[in-house]
Amino acid sequence: MSQISELKRMLTSRKYIREFAEDYAARYGKNAKDVERDIIQAKKLNHISFGEYEWTGHYELGAEQKKTVSTLWTRMEFRKKFTDRRYIGVLMNKYIFSKVFAEFYGRQCAQASEVNADVLKKMGENTGHVVYKPNCKGMGEGIRILPVDTEEEIKSALECIYQVGNGIVEEYILQDDVMNRLNPKAVNVVRFYSLCSPEGSFLFAPILTVAHKNDISNGCQDALTSLVDIRTGKVLTDAVDQNEMVEYQIHPVTGAAFQGVQLNHWEETIEMMRRVVPLASKISNIGWDVAFTGNGPVLIEANTIPGFTTAQYSGYGWVTDGYGYQPLFDAVHGIGFRDDGRYEKVILRLS
């Protein structure tokens, strides 16, 4: 890149930083110049985005706390170093995932091309619904809940499945009473994060993810998310809509409170995750979605570039004394994680 091109890039970047700083300062009653300086320093440290800067409450953090903020860039650096990309397809292809993790899947699953009326009837006999998922998409895109109670519904479902093409069809999960009270119209989940490197394996930051208005619970699309105590399964916080940055003490549709809810089968769930994570240890950072049935936990899917928004939300910073999760990812520099007590409720060492 020529010196002139580099200068233009820097000037453009500073312009966007200045505009964001002015807007941020106006909304939060801060000094724009101070905010601008803080953002510039943060970008030098970890290439923080504007969204991450606001979401984590970076401006209000102390110098040591700022060093612990994990960003998309720092996590990508970690994954580049420690992930064997030959194994990614095991998680990205939902049908392969259902077979590799069959012991923890807990429901019927078939490739869309192999589905017929008899298969749909059998899959839907408990709930009257089946779920279609594209084989390799994430973020809740393309998922459809299809009724299959009647012959006409089965016919319509088959037409839909054949029309949309490659994917899987599986039983609709019958969730337990606790999840039903939060929102009975969708299968609500807990997102666990795992991390594997030569410095150790960890399970951390379990996030309760409850559908807001739609019939699919996905934090990137339409969900309210809360932080859960990894050792007890008790919900520690109120919920936040991470797309709107609005907090809720109770679900706006069902009226159910979030904070203090005790999730069922928690010891069984942690034991399941202790067995699941080593099966994918060649993939260094994963987001696992787990549903809760009356018979215990089941795996929904796993994500190789998992969203990380709620985990470092400023409103929940009190759980870790304002410290973020970068110390886990510092293994990229050969630095092992050491917990001084701040992460007691959110990080569990597996090995």
Give the integer Cα–Cα distance in Å for 302 and 94.
9
Q: What is the pLDDT at residue 7?
A: 52
Residue 243 lies in a domain: yes
Residue 19 shares a structural domain with residue 151: no
In the structure encoding, which two tokens stand for residue 252, read together?
């706006």
Residue 326 neighbours by CB distance under 10 Å: 21
Residue 142 shares a structural domain with residue 240: no
Give the integer Cα–Cα distance in Å for 152 and 56.
50
pLDDT of 55 above 80: yes
* CA–centroid distance for 181 within its chain: 21
Contacts of 69 (CB under 8 A, 6+ apart): 42, 46, 48, 52, 56, 58, 61, 312, 324, 326
Q: What is the pLDDT at residue 307?
A: 85
Stretch 283-289: mean pLDDT, rounded? 97
| Nearest Cα to Cα of residue 124 among 162, 163, 156 | 156
Stretch 302-324: mean pLDDT, rounded? 94
**Crossing angle of helices 3-28/32-46, nearest 10°?**
130
Stretch 31-52: mean pLDDT, rounded? 95
Instruction: State pLDDT tens for residues 298-312.
Output: 999 999 999 898 899
The SS3 call for residue 1 is coil
pTM confidence score: 0.92
Residue 120 neighbours by CB distance under 10 Å: 22
Residue 228 pLDDT class (50, 70, 90 cuts) = very high
Residue 151 shares a structural domain with residue 198: no
Residue 195 shares a structural domain with residue 181: yes
Written as one letter, the residue type at 94 is K
Residue 240 shares a structural domain with residue 339: yes
Residue 85 shares a structural domain with residue 153: no
274 touches 297 (CB < 8 A) = no
* Dihedral over Cα of 160, 164, 165, 171: its sign: negative
Residue 161 neighbours by CB distance under 10 Å: 21
Instruction: State pLDDT tens for residues 104-135.
Output: 999 999 999 999 999 999 999 989 999 999 88
Domain, as residue range, for 235: 79-90+176-349
Q: What is the CATH number of the domain that holds 156?
A: 3.30.1490
Residue 245 pLDDT class (50, 70, 90 cuts) = confident
Q: What are phi and psi of 104, to 5 degrees?
A: -110, 5
pLDDT of 12 above 90: no
Stretch 139-150: mean pLDDT, rounded? 82
Domain-terminating residue out of 128, 148, 171: 171
Q: What is the CATH number of the domain that holds 239?
A: 3.30.470.20
In the structure encoding, which two tokens stand for residue 320, read together?
């870790």
CA diameter of the chain: 69
Residue 152 shares a structural domain with residue 273: no
DSSP string, 179-204: HHHH-TTS--EEEEEEEEETTEEEEE
Give the integer Cα–Cα distance in Å for 86 and 161.
30
Give the integer Cα–Cα distance in Å for 316 and 324.
11
Taking CA atoms, 240 is separated from 109, 127, 318, in Å, by 32, 30, 15
174 touches 131 (CB < 8 A) = no
pLDDT of 5 above 70: no
Residue 99 lies in a domain: no
Give me the chain's average pLDDT, please.
92
Residue 304 shares a structural domain with residue 345: yes
Let me know if 201 is exposed, middle or buried by CB neighbors in 10 A (0-12, 13-18, 19+).
Answer: middle
Residue 188 shares a structural domain with residue 152: no
Count the alpha carbons within 13 Å of 45 in the hemisphere toward its beta carbon: 21
Q: What percent of the chain has pLDDT over 90?
A: 82
Number of domains in the chain: 3
| Nearest Cα to Cα of residue 320 among 229, 207, 201 | 229
Written as one letter, the residue type at 211 is A
Domain-terminating residue out of 171, 206, 224: 171
Residue 63 lies in a domain: no
Residue 344 shares a structural domain with residue 215: yes
